[in-house]
Chain A
């Protein structure tokens, strides 16, 4: 039997439930829609920048805007988010500016992590948004541990952890689920099932009926949700968040969505993706579905969207221009934040590098290194 799915708005924006149960006011809808639109516009721009060679890499949330933004909207700002790497909207929701995002993508001297990581691997402690890692699933047990710590301290803070369908195959996912169940950790696992782990389709990733069902074996609830339906994602996450905050344990939420772009700027999905399947998925995408619903509700109109888009595009232009003017981080930053306090060997390496860089200028002038 197929696992049931939480859905309010179907692909044609037809309502199948009670909007009052969702509990989103007009203001909330405007905020969520604005964020979804911004993520969409920004990521389209970033893919262009990557193709123009102005940034090295991009990985985005195209098609997954509802899944990550509406879920994050159900948390409080003191709750910690352990991201995967497609959650730009969570950062924007939590007050991170476009300039901060763009500086990281350029890895320039204004990036507060000093170009330590590839584009899209952000870290914002002020937003309780924990540093992103490329290795898959490593964040999941950490989220459980953080939730256990908050419980230990008696804080009403919970953890939200994002992962993909691919991430559920790693051992880290399973140990995290087990610990969460055993210790009744206040954590919400959000599996963004976008149907693809690079080229591996979800049905080859697992033999189970989706991913929500996996929670059952670890002794807690799993919900399958239409991840392209803002109302369903928000409502289901809200339930899980409240449950965690009341000390009633973890929940796994599977947001069924679709990756509408290649895995990243380095990938070409046309090599392995069925075109018809893609076309079908495009018809179910979240932004149009939500827009139609908001229009019906009298919340959306064209002029409003145009105004947001134009203002935002200007903001992004400024952020890019500003970021492009900044130099790369100073070479000395290589050695900062390796340890809380440096050590003599590292300090020596830093000094020798500085000397070398000075010498390098004169070698380059002379055209050859004098032996």
Chain B
């Protein structure tokens, strides 16, 4: 196994799938000769040519809309949106079209497309290179939403997503694109969509997170260890479809929950998880479910570090839940 970062793991998954299946094609801004603004598509244009790696005009609606058409015809396009903050011109195509074509055609048509896009803060990118807007998309029946947190999962989940027959929004945590390294199996390797991972088992309290907040939770868990608090960290990996069983099993074990996410708190996907636990597992709860999230403000430039939840903020919530 090679030690890779997330950028390299994504790149390896794309190489692998393009070699395996000639129906896999890529399209996006600056993904050609430049290899993407973060380098995720490096070497692919050179290897597979401009027919399979389309360095497109600057138009997100065009990128996603044409990818839908390609998918309808039987290709497996993997469009890239340069930053999740730029996805909105394509919102109509994603929400009204990709997500609904199977349903509205009685299953006649399908859109096996994976939209890859970096999301989240951590690069001093201000409003428009930092947002986590997964909640809009999780609120869209027909669309799957996947968020890896490790290099291995990035590869395994991306390959599964490309092979999946439904449209998938694949959110890449840019904060840990290069900062986080891990072992990644070579060659054929998949991770099933819809299955959470117990990133760290524990018995006192459950932290539920995804993407770039998983390492933050692991850091908090590590700091708690010294104080004899045994924290469990659940990495959801897929937000839609959600691994309800894994969440409930953890709650049943610990009876205490903190949901951690980077997006603005109100209406964020953590609210859905909190509601689900309240509906189905309230008898196990020893304390209220807490959410540690971004503030209900636009994502700031200068105050980025104040905005993004860190281990200390998570521990503050852990303390409140433990002492309830």
Contact = CB atoms under 8 A, between A and B. Distances in A.
A133 B298 CA distance: 13
Interface in B23-40: 29-30, 32-35, 37
Given A114-B302, A121-B126, A171-B59, A199 B34 contact: yes
B292 to A, nearest CB: 11
Given A118-B125, A334-B307, A135 B59 contact: no
Interface string A154-193: 0000000000001101111000000000000000000000
B51 interface: no
B126 to A, nearest CB: 4
Contacts of A260: none
A135 B296 contact: no
A118, A171, A345, A369: residue with the most chain B Cβ atoms closer than 10 Å: A369
Nearest to A371: B227
A59 to B, nearest CB: 12
B306 interface: yes
B296 A134 contact: no
Looking at chain B's contact residues, the main secondary structure is loop
A121 B58 CA distance: 20
A247 B126 CA distance: 39
Looking at chain A's contact residues, the main secondary structure is loop
A108 interface: yes
A90 B56 CA distance: 31
Contacts of B322: 371
Interface stretch (B10-18, B82-90, B194-202): B82-90
Contact of B57 (A57, A117, A166, A359): A166
A200 B30 contact: yes
B303 A170 contact: no
A278 interface: no
Interface of B: 29-30, 32-35, 37, 55-62, 85-86, 88-89, 124-129, 223-224, 226-227, 229, 265-266, 295-298, 300-303, 306-307, 312-313, 315-316, 318-319, 322
24 contacts: A108-B302, A111-B302, A115-B300, A116-B126, A116-B127, A121-B126, A134-B86, A135-B85, A136-B58, A167-B58, A169-B58, A171-B61, A199-B32, A199-B33, A200-B30, A205-B58, A334-B295, A334-B297, A345-B266, A346-B297, A353-B306, A368-B226, A370-B227, A371-B315
Interface of A: 56-57, 107-108, 111, 114-118, 121, 133-136, 166-167, 169-172, 197-200, 204-206, 266-267, 271-272, 328-329, 331, 333-335, 338, 345-346, 349, 353, 356-357, 359-360, 363, 368-371
